[in-house]
Amino acid sequence: MSFDCPAYPLVRRAIQLLSAVSLGIVIVASIPVALAAGSEPPVPLAREILAQLIGINTTHAHGTTPAAAALAERFRAAGFAPADVVEVAPPDHPEQGNLVVRLHGKGKAKPVLYIGHLDVVEARREDWNYDPFALTQNDGWLYGRGTIDMKGQDAAVAATLLDMKRTGFVPDRDVIAAFTADEESTGSNGVDFLLREHRLLIDAEFAINPDGGEAGMKKGRRLYVGMQTSEKVFYTLKLTVTDKGGHSSRPTAGNPIYRLAADLTRLADFRFPAHLTDTARAYFAARAKLESGQVRADMLSVSGANADPAAIERLSQQVETNILLHSTCTVTQVAGGHAENALPQRAEAMLQCRILPGESLDGVREQIAARIADPDLQIGVQTPGKPSPESPLTPRIVTAVERVTRSIWPDVIVLPSMSPGATDSLYLRGAGIPSYGVDGMFDDLDDGRAHGRDERIGVSVFADEVKFTGALMREVSGAK
């Protein structure tokens, strides 16, 4: 097992910082974490914007241009200069519109960028108890496609910027918000497009991506605010076995389906070596505060410089923690044969991998080949991986998130995290802009409905999200 971590001093410092802040012994500047004097969180405005966005169908087939235009109209009406409200779409995908808004600051530091996608996954009316494209309030919940992923967050960001403009708030640095297209599909991704074609519009010192954050609660108890600093690399291999085929009445030992099945069986219990990233160590150090007994001891062990192999083994038995310790590959599709009465000439399987940051994609492929040990198996790359570095656990960013979180929810911890899935932060990190997934919209860990039927968010949870967004945006827009 490999526990190498060249940047461990930085991790140790971040862990110490998180622990110290949690104990209330970190002294920071006495700038109040609050809205402008005399101002309340713009919850009614955010609700109005949310209703407007939910009412615009932004699935891939319909596009995001109408939603981007609706938001742009609000910003211009609020007094933002035309040059600071930019609508742009790829020439070959005019329906996939993006909006970039800039609130000018004092120029004391490079801008901070907020990103949020406007598109949503498909939702069919016959599957839902409510109209998915109309915001509906019932029994303390707000229903609609995108309430949690992520038009709720978009509305909070937009309302905060509008409120800043209304109250005359001037940050130390520019605040940029990019409302983008095609995060949920493989079409024309808005963040990727903006970086390639309009980098100056969104160039920033660092970014906040609410879509990458996770605020978790169970049975109504708020537990943690996630701070996503990295994500696994999406990488798919295609496994292929071929044969000359023949008539099904004359079976042979070269049947590709049987051979491929045997190859896949060798992968069923295969596990990549453990690899503790900076984020994983910080995650386990913080997560241990929510646990007890052996689990707590194991998490504290793997957060340190000399992880106990037995602790690694126990944590690897649970899906939730295993995916933070290991790269993973799993079979997701199998196909073979071409006719009912013919021997198969080909059998194929898709091996979908999520690779830890810093690990070699070629090395993963080589380990798979060595495990299967079938010279006749062809292993090709179906979907190339796009590696991105971890965003550093910069003390200033950690302190800002911790401070705002505790000002609203004193008992909630900040939990550094690595996403097993993919977000638009991938493109920013690859372009040299550190990105942090942070969100204060608490979702029920036992009843998450993002992408699902009757997607919803609590009325009070949404109000808290607006408050959290406003406080954090003001905090990170300072120059120090």
- Domains of the chain in sequence order: 1-26+274-325 (no CATH), 31-231+389-476 (3.40.630.10), 233-272+327-387 (3.30.70.360)
Whether 192 sits among the annotated catalytic residues: the reply is no
Percent over 70 (pLDDT), the chain: 91
Q: How large is the average pLDDT for residues 54-63?
A: 97
Whether 263 sits among the annotated catalytic residues: the reply is no
| Nearest C-alpha neighbor of 14 from the set 206, 205, 283 | 283
pLDDT digits 0-9 by tens, 366-425: 999 999 999 999 999 999 998 888 999 899 999 999 999 999 999 999 999 999 888 999
Position 314 confidence tier, pLDDT thresholds 50, 70, 90: very high
Residues 11/393, Cβ–Cβ less than 8 Å? yes
Position 29 confidence tier, pLDDT thresholds 50, 70, 90: very low
Least confident among 9-23, 210-224, 336-350, 452-466? 9-23
Residues 48/35, Cβ–Cβ less than 8 Å? no
Amino acid at the residue 12: R
Q: The pTM is what?
A: 0.86
The rounded distance, in Å, linking the Cα atoms of 330 and 332 is 6
What is residue 169's predicted lDDT score, i.e. its pLDDT?
95
The rounded distance, in Å, linking the Cα atoms of 337 and 256 is 8
Least confident among 29-43, 86-100, 140-154, 238-252? 29-43
pLDDT at 166 over 80: yes
- For the CA atoms of 116, 122, 127, 129, the dihedral, rounded to the nearest 10 degrees, stands at 30
pLDDT digits 0-9 by tens, 329-364: 999 999 999 999 999 999 999 999 999 998 999 999
| Nearest C-alpha neighbor of 75 from the set 190, 163, 150 | 163
The rounded distance, in Å, linking the Cα atoms of 368 and 352 is 12
- Which residue in 182, 183, 278, 475 is the catalytic one? 183
| Nearest C-alpha neighbor of 444 from the set 114, 242, 215, 188 | 215
How high is the mean pLDDT of the chain? 91
